[in-house]
């Protein structure tokens, strides 16, 4: 990087706020830099408490207070002479990302506006992409007629079982009887809303037969009904009921008496999947599922069940439209979850936003047609279309004809609304002439013809050079940059490089050609350092809450930050946000603790340094590790207590 930025480095940042366990408003400050591999990374830099006395009214966390907090945090970087560009963060900061709160992104007096007024560079601050997606989804689902009703049912199931261990235990017993693998139904929350909702719907679809049977058992036990799916199959032999048949020629429907003659045990050994042979008074026979038989026999006692809440909830769950819509929405949320996780990548760059969004829009468009439906919906149709029984495993669905018609309308409403609002929201984020100028580095859009490419993107380079002139010395002229740009295009426009992904290409160019094309690559680096999301801040807050628990709410600020740094030093966060242990940073904590304690207590008394050296205590290279031991005193003691 010194060859690309000889006068010091630029940097980007992402910031977000949250209260810790002691209700102190903390700002997580994450810096964005280029790694040794030529790829951008986000790294935890500071956990800064807000000083409310710096606000307008000296007691509110407003934009002025935020500005003071971030400025004080960035001031720490200035002490490293020659590290930042011109050794001043106000001349090195080129990009940031906040959530969409007015105090952060307000156009008149938000924190972003105040920061832009303070720095001497062109500062691009973006609305965090994962937050933008969540806002777009909220707007889209408001336009879907059935969404509120459907979402209310999903939430009802979660609340019913989440609030009681006894109910959960009963559900597990039913699932064991049905030989179903039970998944835990969770509520949806947080910035990972789409992925979280997908997990909720996956559990609901998997548990639906067990949930329906459990609710049925509970309701019937209350009113004294006899038959359920878990009733022994032999108990149904000889039972009779009347069944209505519609005339094929449109004539008057007929009622025939049906009697259970025999039972066929299911191959999987689950009694709920048994099949029964019925004999009718018109000398015909027919096979039906146990779920259908229970429904026929329960009709006689249905009047007592109508007022039971669990029966009402069961009735909503076995509605064909609800089950089909849930399967469809699971496929939708799986695609939205992929988009959300892509935006939360630790190496996300501005060029990835439109690429990820367009890929998701294409996937959603495929789900718009039933013939190209997703895998989860395909599984659903595979169950309900078998023998036209509308039976989802052991769960008999009702109102199949009207449900199929409604789903066609629901499907179009959902996809059209999502596509419209996602495009609208992200167009606002990317509607910036500088971001548009940076698109010249997206090689996928370059023309194939060499002569056309040679004369392309000249204006873009000129605009970027003018915008970021502060990063060029007086002798580094625009003509020199354009000359390198022409040579760089010719260097890249070969099959071996044009086929590389965006991240691979520019990482390779930065590592291999930093000296040769330093002036142009300077602009490439700036584009890579503009962050597009704040998910790393969310991960910082998760770590903060893991360390500063309710039992340790009085932990001091410096101690908390040190513990967080210790944790992060031993792990790195990969592109997907997962923690990966770094073996090069292994610290022999237990050995240090053992030596530290032997220093403090020997033969029942405190020892000084001279006594320690004279004592027969394993030194563990004491002098070598004395500094880490001293710095780790408070953290090591806490670790020993735990």
589-622: pLDDT as tens digits: 788 888 888 877 655 554 444 444 444 444 444 4
Q: What does the DSSP assignment read for 52-70?
A: GGGSSSSSS--HHHHHHHH
Which letter does DSSP use for residue 362 in this model? H
User: Pick from 30, 26, 28, 68: which is nearest to 49 by CA?
Assistant: 26
**Helix, strand, coil proportions of the chain in percent (round to 5)?**
60, 15, 30
CA 155: distance to chain centroid?
Answer: 20
Report the alpha-carbon distance of residue 598 to residue 618 in Å, rounded. Answer: 9
* Residue whose token pair is 């584009």: 527
Task: Classify the C-alpha dihedral 468-470-472-477 as positive or negative.
Answer: positive
List 84's β-bridge partners, or say none.
9
The residue length of the chain stands at 642
Segments of the chain scoring below 70 in pLDDT: 188-192, 249-250, 299-303, 570-587, 601-642
pLDDT for res 203: 93
Q: Are 216 and 394 in contact (CB under 8 A)?
A: no
Q: Which value, in Å, is the radius of gyration of the alpha carbons in the chain?
A: 33
| Torsion, Cα of 57, 61, 63, 67 (10° steps) | 100
pLDDT for res 153: 94
pTM above 0.85, yes or no: no
Measuring CA to CA, how many Å separate 461 from each of 154, 441, 457, 486? 52, 10, 7, 10
pLDDT for res 352: 94
pLDDT for res 525: 97
Q: Which domains does the chain have, with CATH numbers?
A: 1-127+534-570 (3.30.420), 136-223+310-415 (no CATH), 233-287 (no CATH), 587-642 (no CATH)
Read off the pLDDT of residues 488-521 as tens digits, 9 standing for 90 and up.
999 999 988 988 989 999 999 999 999 999 999 9
């Amino acid at each position: 990087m010194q060859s690309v930025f000889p006068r010091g480095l630029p940097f980007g940042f992402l910031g977000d706020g949250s209260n810790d366990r002691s209700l102190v408003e903390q700002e997580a400050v994450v810096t964005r830099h280029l790694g040794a591999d030529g790829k951008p990374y986000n790294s935890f830099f500071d956990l800064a408490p807000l000083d409310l006395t710096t606000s307008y009214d000296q007691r509110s966390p407003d934009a002025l207070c935020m500005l003071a907090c971030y400025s004080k945090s960035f001031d720490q970087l200035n002490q490293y002479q020659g590290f930042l560009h011109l050794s001043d963060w106000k001349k090195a900061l080129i990009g940031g990302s906040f959530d969409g709160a007015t105090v952060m992104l307000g156009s008149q007096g938000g924190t972003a506006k105040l920061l832009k007024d303070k720095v001497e560079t062109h500062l691009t601050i973006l609305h965090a992409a994962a937050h933008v997606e969540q806002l777009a989804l909220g707007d889209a689902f408001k336009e879907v007629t059935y969404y509120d009703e459907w979402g209310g049912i999903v939430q009802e199931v979660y609340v019913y079982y989440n609030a009681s261990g006894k109910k959960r235990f009963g559900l597990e017993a039913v699932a064991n009887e049905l030989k179903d693998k039970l998944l835990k139904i969770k509520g949806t929350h947080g910035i990972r809303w789409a992925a979280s909702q997908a997990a909720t719907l996956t559990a609901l679809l998997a548990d639906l037969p067990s949930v329906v049977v459990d609710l049925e058992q509970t309701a019937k036990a209350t009113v004294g009904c006899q038959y359920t799916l878990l009733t022994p199959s032999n108990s149904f032999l000889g039972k009779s009921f009347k069944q209505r048949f519609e005339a094929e020629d449109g004539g008057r429907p007929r009622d025939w008496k049906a009697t259970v003659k025999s039972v066929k045990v299911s191959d999987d050994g689950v009694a709920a999947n048994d099949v029964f042979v019925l004999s009718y008074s018109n000398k015909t026979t027919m096979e039906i599922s146990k779920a259908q038989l229970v429904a026929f026999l329960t009709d006689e006692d249905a009047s007592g069940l109508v007022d039971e809440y669990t029966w009402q909830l069961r009735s909503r769950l076995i509605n064909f439209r609800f089950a089909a819509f849930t399967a469809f929405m699971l496929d939708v949320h799986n695609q939205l979850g992929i988009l959300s996780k892509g935006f939360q990548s630790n190496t996300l760059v501005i060029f990835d936003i439109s690429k990820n969004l367009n890929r998701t829009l294409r996937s959603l468009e495929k789900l718009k047609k039933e013939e190209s439906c997703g895998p989860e919906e395909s599984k659903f149709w595979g169950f309900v279309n078998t023998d036209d029984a509308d039976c989802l495993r052991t769960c008999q669905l009702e109102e199949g004809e009207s449900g199929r018609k409604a789903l066609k309308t629901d499907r179009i409403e959902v996809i059209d609304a999502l596509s419209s609002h996602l495009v609208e929201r992200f167009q606002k984020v990317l509607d910036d002439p500088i971001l548009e100028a940076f698109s010249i580095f997206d090689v996928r859009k370059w023309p194939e013809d060499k002569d056309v490419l040679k004369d392309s993107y000249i204006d873009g380079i000129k605009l970027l050079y003018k915008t970021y002139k502060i990063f060029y010395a007086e002798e580094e002229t625009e003509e020199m940059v354009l000359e390198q740009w022409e040579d760089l295009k010719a260097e890249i426009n070969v099959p071996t490089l044009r086929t590389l992904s965006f991240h691979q290409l520019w990482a390779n160019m930065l590592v291999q050609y930093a000296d040769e094309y330093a002036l142009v690559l300077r602009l490439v680096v700036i584009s890579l350092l503009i962050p597009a999301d704040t998910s790393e801040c969310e991960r910082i807050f998760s770590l903060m809450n893991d360390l500063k628990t309710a039992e340790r709410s009085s932990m001091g600020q410096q101690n908390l930050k040190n513990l967080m740094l210790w944790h992060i030093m031993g792990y790195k966060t990969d592109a997907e946000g997962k923690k990966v242990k770094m073996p090069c940073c292994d610290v022999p904590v237990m050995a240090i603790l053992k030596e530290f304690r032997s220093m403090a207590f020997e033969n029942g008394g405190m020892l000084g340094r001279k006594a320690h050296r004279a004592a027969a205590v394993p030194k563990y290279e004491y002098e070598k590790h004395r500094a880490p031991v001293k710095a780790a005193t408070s953290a090591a003691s806490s670790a020993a207590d735990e």
